[in-house]
Amino acid sequence: MTTANKVTKTIVVVGGVAGGASAATRARRCDESAHIVLFEKDEHISFANCGLPYYIGGEIKDRAKLLITTPEQVAQRFGIEVHTQREVMSIDRVRKVVTVLNRETGETSEQAYDKLILAPGASPIVPPGPRAANVFTLRNLHDTDMLKSALDALAAREGDEPRRAVVVGAGFIGLEMVEQLHHKGFEVQLVEKAGQVLPPLDAEMARLVEEELGRRGVRLYLGDGVLGLTMKDGLATEIRLESGLSLAADLFILGMGVRPNTQLAEAAGLTLGPSRGVKVDEHMRTSDPDVYAVGDVVEVLHGVAHTPLRVPLAGIANRAGRLAGGHCVGENPERAPAALGTAIVRVFGVIAACTGLSEAQAARMGKPCATVYVEGGSHASYYPGAQSLLLKVLFHPETGALLGAQAVGGEGVDKRIDVVATALHFGGTVRDLAQIDLAYAPPFGSAKDPLHMAAFAACNQLDGLVRFVPPTTNLDGAQIVDVRDPHELVHAALSGAVNIPLDHLRERLAELDPSRPTVVVCRSGKRGYLGARILSQRGFEDVAVLTGGMVARRLVTAG
In a domain, 185, yes or no: yes
- Do 166 and 228 lie in a common domain? yes
Q: How many whole angstroms separate alpha carbon 514 and alpha carbon 531?
A: 13
Q: How many whole angstroms separate alpha carbon 296 and alpha carbon 139?
A: 12
Which among 485, 385, 400, 476 has a CA at the least distance from the CA of 434?
Answer: 400
State percent of the chain over pLDDT 70. Answer: 99
Q: Per-residue confidence at 3, pLDDT binned at 50, 70, 90?
A: very low
- Other Cβ atoms less than 10 A from the Cβ of 399: the count is 12
Q: Is the pLDDT of residue 391 over 50?
A: yes
- Do 249 and 160 lie in a common domain? yes
- Do 488 and 535 lie in a common domain? yes
Q: Is the pLDDT of residue 4 over 70?
A: no
pLDDT in tens, 438-480: 999 999 999 999 999 999 999 999 999 999 999 999 999 999 9
- Do 116 and 75 lie in a common domain? yes
The total number of structural domains in the chain stands at: 4
- Do 252 and 264 lie in a common domain? no
Q: Is the pLDDT of residue 1 over 80?
A: no
Between 206 and 6, residue with greater pLDDT:
206
State percent of the chain over pLDDT 90. Answer: 88
In a domain, 398, yes or no: yes
Which among 420, 422, 367, 423 has a CA at the least distance from the CA of 398?
Answer: 367
- Do 378 and 434 lie in a common domain? yes
pLDDT of residue 157: 81
402-409 and 350-356: which strand pairing? antiparallel
CATH code: domain of residue 485: 3.40.250.10
Q: Is the pLDDT of residue 293 over 60?
A: yes
Q: What's the Cα-to-Cα distance from 506 to each of 11, 487, 534, rounded to whole Å?
A: 75, 20, 7
Q: Per-residue confidence at 5, pLDDT binned at 50, 70, 90?
A: low
Contact 98, 12 (CB under 8 A): yes
Q: What's the Cα-to-Cα distance from 220 to each of 57, 193, 317, 377, rounded to whole Å?
A: 21, 11, 32, 29
- Do 213 and 289 lie in a common domain? no
pTM of the model: 0.93
Which of 256, 288, 304 is a domain's end point?
Answer: 256
Which of 210, 238, 256 is a domain's end point?
Answer: 256
**44: Cα within 13 Å, side-chain hemisphere:** 19
Q: Which domain range does residue 531 map to?
A: 468-557
Which of 437, 462, 487 is a domain's end point?
Answer: 462
Of 158-172, 206-220, 270-284, 383-397, which range is least confident?
A: 158-172
Q: Per-residue confidence at 559, pLDDT binned at 50, 70, 90?
A: low
Residues designated as active site: 50
Tell me the mean pLDDT in the region 401-430: 97
CATH code: domain of residue 205: 3.50.50.60
In a domain, 538, yes or no: yes
pLDDT in tens, 228-279: 999 999 999 999 999 999 999 999 999 988 999 999 999 999 999 999 999 9
Q: Per-residue confidence at 493, pLDDT binned at 50, 70, 90?
A: confident
- Do 39 and 71 lie in a common domain? yes
Contact 230, 224 (CB under 8 A): no
Tell me the mean pLDDT in the region 27-37: 96
- Do 362 and 276 lie in a common domain? no
Q: What's the Cα-to-Cα distance from 150 to each of 51, 56, 156, 179, 499, rounded to whole Å?
A: 18, 10, 10, 17, 58
In a domain, 333, yes or no: no
In a domain, 517, yes or no: yes
Contact 408, 209 (CB under 8 A): yes
Q: How far is CA 367 from the centre of its chain?
A: 21
Contact 448, 436 (CB under 8 A): no
- Do 179 and 92 lie in a common domain? no
pLDDT of residue 127: 79
- Other Cβ atoms less than 10 A from the Cβ of 255: the count is 26
- Do 100 and 154 lie in a common domain? no
pLDDT of residue 257: 87
